[in-house]
Structure 1
Amino acid sequence: MMRIKEVAELAGVSIRTLRHYDEIGLLKPAEVSPSGYRHYSEENLKTLQQILFFKELGFPLQKIKEIMESPSFDRLGALELQRHLLIEKQNRLGNMIALIEKTIQSEKEGMKMSSEEKFAGFRFDSNPYAREAREKWGDQAVDAAEAKMARLDGDEKLALADEMNEIYRELAAIRHKDPRAQEAQTAIRKWFDFLNRHFGDYTPEAFKGLGQMYIEDSRFTKNIDQFGPGLAAFMAAAMAEFANQTHQ
Structure 2
Amino acid sequence: MDDEGMKIGEVAERTGLSIRSLRHYDDVGVVSPSGKTPGGFRLYSERDVERILLVRRMKPLQFTLEEMREFLDAAENPDSPGARATIERVHEEARNRLAKLRQRVGYAEEFLGIIEEL
TM-score norm. by structure 1 comes to: 0.36
SS of the residue corresponding to residue 39 of structure 1 reads strand
Letter in 2 for 1:103: I
Check 1:50–1:78 CA distance in 2 against 1; reply closer, same or farther (3 A cut).
farther
The residue aligned with 2:9 is 5
Shift of 1:36: 0.7
Largest Rg, 1 or 2: 1
Shift of 1:93: 3.7
Matched, 1:14 2:26: no
TM-score norm. by structure 2 comes to: 0.69
The residue aligned with 2:77 is none
Where do 5+ consecutive residues of structure 2 fail to align? 75-79
C-alpha separation between the residues in 2 aligned to 1:17 and 1:50?
14
Residues paired across the two proteins, number: 106
The residue aligned with 1:68 is 72
Check 1:52–1:24 CA distance in 2 against 1; reply closer, same or farther (3 A cut).
same
The residue aligned with 1:103 is 114
More helix per residue: 1
Q: Say what the alpha-carbon RMSD is for the aligned residues.
A: 3.1
Matched, 1:91 2:102: yes
**Within 5 A, what are the aligned runs for 1:101-180?**
101-104=112-115, 108=118
| Structure with higher RCO (Cα < 8 A, 6+ apart) | 2
C-alpha separation between the residues in 2 aligned to 1:73 and 1:35?
39
Q: Deviations over 1:64-105 (max 9, x none)?
A: 22333344169x979976874575355324411332034325
The list of structure 1 runs, each at least 4 consecutive aligned residues, that deviate by more than 3 angstroms after superposition, is 76-87
Letter in 1 for 2:56: L
Check 1:78–1:91 CA distance in 2 against 1; reply closer, same or farther (3 A cut).
same
Sequence identity percentage: 28
Check 1:52–1:20 CA distance in 2 against 1; reply closer, same or farther (3 A cut).
same
Shift of 1:21: 1.2
Q: Deviations over 1:97-135 (max 9, x none)?
A: 3320343256x2xxxxxxxxxxxxxxxxxxxxxxxxxxx
